[in-house]
Chain A
Amino acid sequence: MATLETAPAHEAEHEHAEHQHLGFWRQYVFSTDHKVIGIQYAVTGLLFLLFGFGLVTLMRWQLAYPGRALPWLGKLLGDTRMPGGAMLPEFYNQLGAMHGTIMVFMGVVPLAVGGFGNFVLPLQIGAPDMAFPKINMASYWSYFLGGMTMLASFFVPGGAAQSGWTSYAPLSVIAGQGQTMWLFGMIFLITSSLLGSINFIVTTIQLRANGLSFFRLPFFVWSQLVTSFLLLLAFPPLEAAGVMQLMDRLGGSSFFMPSGLVVSGQVAAYTGGGNPLLWQHLFWFLAHPEVYVLILPAFGIVSEVIANNTRKPLWGYKIMVYSLWFLGFMSFIVWAHHMFFTGMGTTMATFFQTTTMIISIPSVVILSALFLSLWGGSIRFNTPMLFALAFLPMFGIGGLTGLPLGLSAADIPLHDTYYVIGHFHYVVAPGTIFALFAGIYHWFPKATGRKMSERLGKLHFWPSLIFINGIFMPMFILGLAGVSRRLYDGGASYDFAKPVLHWNVFMSISAWGLALAQIPFIINFFMSIKRGEKVGQNPWEATTLEWAAPSPPPHGNFTTAPVAYRGPYEYSVPGHPTDFTPQFLSAQQQATS
C-alpha cells in the first residue's frame, strides 16, 4: 500500500494544547470530538433503553393481570392513561408502539452505531477523529431532538403514537396527534442516521492508519461499514414515506388512503385513490435492513470480544467479511416477508421466500465462524466474554425461529402471533443487548481508564440470562397456540388462548426480575467511573489499534500516529513470547519490549 502523509506528531501536541482552552460547553456538550460524541450517544441510548424497558414493564403488568389496577404508579399516570390505576387500551397501544420505536431507533441503533461506532471505530483504524467532526455533532443533536420530540409526544392530547412501531396506514393516518409527533421525530432520527452513516463510511475509507489495508480491519469496523451503507440507502425511503404520511395527515392527501373508506360509520373525508400497501412496502424497505442494522454491530462487538478472550485469531475472517457484505446486500430484497398476508400471489411470495432463505445462509456462516473460533482457544471467562458467549446461542434461537417465519406457508399460523415477538426479541434482546453489554464491559477501560467490577458484572450476567429466557421462551408457546400480538388483554378475550395464558404471569415476573438484574449494572457503571480498578493502555492484552492509545485517549487520540503492521487478530502466534502480537508494534518494537 502507498505510504500516506499523516500529520507529524508535534502538530498533535499543538492541537492538544489548544484543546485545553475549550470551555465546558464546547468540550462536553457541543463537542466535535468523536469520543465525547460517542459517549453522549451511548449514555443517551442507554437511558432510552431503560425508558423503553420501563414502558414494557408497565405493559407486562397489564398482560399478566388484565384490567387490574396497578398499585400506586397507576394513579400517578393520570386518568387519560390509567384511570383508577387500570390501563386503558389506548395507553397500552401507545406503550407498545413507543416501546418498539424507542428500543429500535432511539436505544439500540444510537448505542450500537452512534455510541460504539463513534467511540471505537476511529480508534480502531488509528484516526485522530471522524472525517467530519461538525457533522458528527449535528448527527448527535439531531438524534437528541428526535428523541425529545418522541418523548414530548406522550403529553399531547390523545397521547403518543399508538399504531404500532410499523405505523400501518390507514390506522396511523386517522390516529391522533401523537402520530404527527412520531413522524417528525422519525424525520430527525433519519437525518441523524444519514449524517452519521456518511461520516462512518468516509472515515473508514479515508482515515485508516498507515498499513491498515482493508483486510487488516478489525471485524467490528467492517460491521460498522456495512451497517452504515444499510442506513444510508434504506432510510431515505422511510423518510419519503414519512413525508407522504404527513401530507395525508396534515394536507388531506390520499397517498395511503384507498377510495371508499368509512370510519365509525362516517364516510371518511379523503378523496381516495391511494394504496395502504405502499406504506408497508416503503416501511419494510427500511425496516428489514434496519433489523440487520441492529444485529451487525452486535456481530462486530462479539467478534472482537471472542477473539480477545479465546486468545486466538477469528476463524474464517475473510469469509466472515464476504458474508457480511452479502448479508448487507441481500437485506434490501427480502422485505416483503413481512407482508405475506397482504394478498400476495405465488411468484411474488416465492421470490421473497427464496431471498429470505438465501439471507439466512450468511448468518449461519458468520455464526459458525464464531462458534469454530472457540475451538482450540484458551478461553477467559470474564464478564464481556460471558455476554459475548451468551449472545451466540441466543442469537441462534432467534435466527433459527426466523426460518419458519420466512416460509410463507409455515408463516400462516405464526404471523402476527407471539411467535414473531419471541423470534425477534431473541435476536435483539438476549442477542443484541447482550452484545452491547459485552461491548460496554470490554471498552469501558478504554473510555475511562478504569475497569468495571467483575463481581458485579457476573451478578449482572447470570440473573439477566435466566430472566430474559424466562420472558421470551414462553412466547413461542403462546405463538404456536395462536395468540396474537398487540393484544391489550394479552388474549384473555379468546377461549383458544386460555390454556396458555398462565404463561403471561410467568413472563411478566421474569421481566420484572430482569429489571432488577440491571441494578448491579447501573451501580457498576457509575461506580466504576470513579472507583473502578485503574488500568493501563491495554488491559485485555488485545491486538487492535484502539489499545495503542492512552486510556482515556486524549483529544486527537494517539500520541504518535499509529501504524498497522499486521492483521487484526494475531493472538498466540507460534514462537512469539507473548500470546498477543498487536497490530501497532513493529518487529523491532516487539523485540525490544
Chain B
Amino acid sequence: MMERWLPLNAAAHGARIDGALNWVHVLMAILFVGWILFFVIALWRFRRAKNPVASYTGVTSHTSTWIEIAVAFVEAILLVGLAVPLWAERVAKFPPEKDAVRVRLVGEQFAWNVHYPGPDGVFGRTSIDKIDVQTNPLGLDRSDPAAKDDVVTVNQLHLPVGKPVIVYLNSKDVIHSFNVPEFRIKQDAVPGITIPVWWVPTITTAQMRQRLGKPDFVYEIACAQLCGLGHYRMRGFVTVEEPAEFQKWMDEQVKAQASTGDDIFQ
C-alpha cells in the first residue's frame, strides 16, 4: 500500500520497514474512516433542524471503550511485533566486520567525506591538525602504515551489491544526518561520537536505472539534519555495483591514491 508513495526499496531490510509503515497506516486508516463516518452521520442526524431537543444522557453503549482497548492492543502489537525487533536488528545485530564492507563517513559543512580502509582492512590514523580543506579533508595521516592503502573520496560512496555495509558515521563540525531514501536508512552524524549503521544493498545502480526507466538515476545521500546555509545542497552519491566492478574501482583508487597520495596529501 505505502510502496506507491515511497521510493523504490533497495535494501534487504527495507521491505520490513515498509511493512511496518503499512500496518500502522492500516490502523490509522481504519480509525480515520470509522470516526469520519460516525462524525458525518452524527452531524447529519443531530442537526438542530432535525433534532430540536437534545438527549441529556447521550451515548450509553460502551463500544468506544472497546475501541480504545482495541487501539491500545493494536499499538502494543505494532510495538512488540514490528517496531522493537526491527530497531533491535538495525542497532544491535551488526554483521561480523570481516563479512562486511566498512566505510567511515564524515560529514562536514557541506560534504560527505568517504574513507575506505583499503585492502588491509584497517583505517589509517587521522588527526585534526592534518586537516586541509582542499587536499586532506579527513586529516588522514599517510605516514601511518595502515593509512598507506586507504581510499578517500568526497561525496562518492561505492558499494558492492548483496554484501552488508557498515558505515561509521561521524562529523567534523555540526550535526548532519545520513539519509538514502532507497535504502530505508537514516542516522545522525554527531560530532564527537561515532555511530555505526548497516544495511545490505540489493539493487545495483544499473538495475535501478532499468527498473525506473531513468538512465541517469543515482542513489543520493540527502543530509537530513539542518546544518547551515548549505544544508539543502549537501548531497552525496552512492554507486552500487556488481562485486567485480566494485573491486575494480577499489583497486584503481588504491593504486591512484597510494602513488600520488604523499604528494597530494601533504
Direct touch of chains A and B (CB < 8 A): yes
The residue from B56, B132, B217 contacting A573, defined by CB atoms under 8 A apart: B56
Pairwise interchain contact B224-A417, C-beta atoms closer than 8 A: yes
Pairwise interchain contact B83-A353, C-beta atoms closer than 8 A: yes
Decide: A360 near B17, CB < 8 A? Known: A265-B132, A342-B190, A408-B87.
no
* Residues of chain A lying within 8 A (CB to CB) of residue B47: 379, 381
* Residues of chain A lying within 8 A (CB to CB) of residue B256: none
- Whether, in the assembled complex, A397 has its beta carbon less than 8 Å from a beta carbon of chain B, the answer is yes
- Whether, in the assembled complex, B86 has its beta carbon less than 8 Å from a beta carbon of chain A, the answer is yes
Decide: A495 near B48, CB < 8 A? Known: A480-B2, A572-B54.
no
Pairwise interchain contact A416-B225, C-beta atoms closer than 8 A: yes
- Whether, in the assembled complex, A593 has its beta carbon less than 8 Å from a beta carbon of chain B, the answer is no
Pairwise interchain contact B46-A262, C-beta atoms closer than 8 A: no
Cβ proximity bits A372-383 to B, threshold 8 Å, 1 near / 0 not? 111111111100
Which of chain B's residues has its CB closest to A376's CB?
B55
Q: Report how far A260 CA is from B2 CA in the complex, Å.
A: 42
Give the contacts of B129-171 with A (CB-CB under 8 A).
129, 131-133, 137, 139
Give the contacts of A152-176 with B (CB-CB under 8 A).
162-164, 168, 170-171, 174
Decide: A168 near B179, CB < 8 A? Known: A364-B71, A410-B83.
no
* Residues of chain B lying within 8 A (CB to CB) of residue A276: 175, 190-192
* Residues of chain A lying within 8 A (CB to CB) of residue B173: 170, 174, 261-264, 268
Pairwise interchain contact A496-B35, C-beta atoms closer than 8 A: no
Pairwise interchain contact A343-B226, C-beta atoms closer than 8 A: no
Decide: A377 near B84, CB < 8 A? Known: A368-B68, A416-B177.
no
Pairwise interchain contact A373-B58, C-beta atoms closer than 8 A: yes
- Whether, in the assembled complex, B90 has its beta carbon less than 8 Å from a beta carbon of chain A, the answer is yes
- Whether, in the assembled complex, A126 has its beta carbon less than 8 Å from a beta carbon of chain B, the answer is no
Q: Report how far A389 CA is from B83 CA in the complex, Å.
A: 34
The size of the chain B interface, using a CB distance under 8 A, is 95
- Whether, in the assembled complex, A73 has its beta carbon less than 8 Å from a beta carbon of chain B, the answer is no
State the Cβ distance, A171 to closest chain B Cβ, in Å. Answer: 4
State the Cβ distance, A314 to closest chain B Cβ, in Å. Answer: 9
- Whether, in the assembled complex, A487 has its beta carbon less than 8 Å from a beta carbon of chain B, the answer is yes
State the Cβ distance, A55 to closest chain B Cβ, in Å. Answer: 16
Pairwise interchain contact B186-A572, C-beta atoms closer than 8 A: no
Interface of B is mostly: mixed
* Residues of chain A lying within 8 A (CB to CB) of residue B48: 378-381
Q: Report how far A30 CA is from B87 CA in the complex, Å.
A: 55
* Residues of chain A lying within 8 A (CB to CB) of residue B129: 267
Cβ proximity bits B189-231 to A, threshold 8 Å, 1 near / 0 not? 0111101000000000000000000101110101111111111
Decide: A412 near B32, CB < 8 A? Known: A493-B235, A572-B55.
no
- Whether, in the assembled complex, B108 has its beta carbon less than 8 Å from a beta carbon of chain A, the answer is yes
One of A399-407, A511-519, A556-564 at the interface: A399-407
Q: Report how far A368 CA is from B25 CA in the complex, Å.
A: 19
Q: Report how far A493 CA is from B193 CA in the complex, Å.
A: 29
Q: Report how far A581 CA is from B48 CA in the complex, Å.
A: 19
* Residues of chain A lying within 8 A (CB to CB) of residue B181: 413, 481-482, 496
Q: Report how far A417 CA is from B226 CA in the complex, Å.
A: 11
Q: Report how far A412 CA is from B185 CA in the complex, Å.
A: 6
The residue from B35, B79, B217, B229 contacting A89, defined by CB atoms under 8 A apart: B229
Cβ proximity bits A499-518 to B, threshold 8 Å, 1 near / 0 not? 00000000000000000000
* Residues of chain A lying within 8 A (CB to CB) of residue B264: none
Q: Report how far A477 CA is from B6 CA in the complex, Å.
A: 9
Which of chain A's residues has its CB closest to B182's CB?
A496
Q: Report how far A407 CA is from B57 CA in the complex, Å.
A: 38
Q: Report how far A276 CA is from B192 CA in the complex, Å.
A: 8
Cβ proximity bits A461-499 to B, threshold 8 Å, 1 near / 0 not? 000000000000000110011101011110101111000
From A88, A412, A415, name the one whose CB has the most chain B CB atoms within 10 angstroms: A412
Give the contacts of B207-266 with A (CB-CB under 8 A).
214, 216-218, 220, 222-233, 235
State the Cβ distance, A403 to closest chain B Cβ, in Å. Answer: 5
Which of chain A's residues has its CB closest to B178's CB?
A341
**Beyond A372-B59, A396-B35, 19 additional pairs, beta carbon < 8 A:** A162-B229, A168-B175, A171-B174, A261-B172, A261-B173, A262-B172, A264-B173, A343-B187, A343-B195, A353-B87, A376-B51, A377-B46, A407-B83, A409-B20, A415-B186, A484-B222, A484-B223, A571-B54, A573-B56
Q: Lowest 4 CB-CB distances: which A-B pairs, in order?
A: A258-B192, A482-B181, A265-B133, A376-B55
- Could you list some 14 contacts between A and B, CB below 8 A? A171-B227, A261-B192, A263-B172, A274-B192, A276-B190, A343-B188, A368-B64, A374-B42, A376-B51, A379-B46, A409-B20, A409-B82, A410-B82, A488-B232
Residues on A close to B: CB < 8 A? 88-90, 93, 162-164, 168, 170-171, 174, 258-265, 267-268, 272, 274-277, 310-313, 315, 341-346, 349-350, 353-354, 357, 360-361, 364-365, 368-369, 371-381, 389, 392-393, 396-397, 400-401, 403-404, 407-410, 412-417, 476-477, 480-482, 484, 486-489, 491, 493-496, 571-574, 579
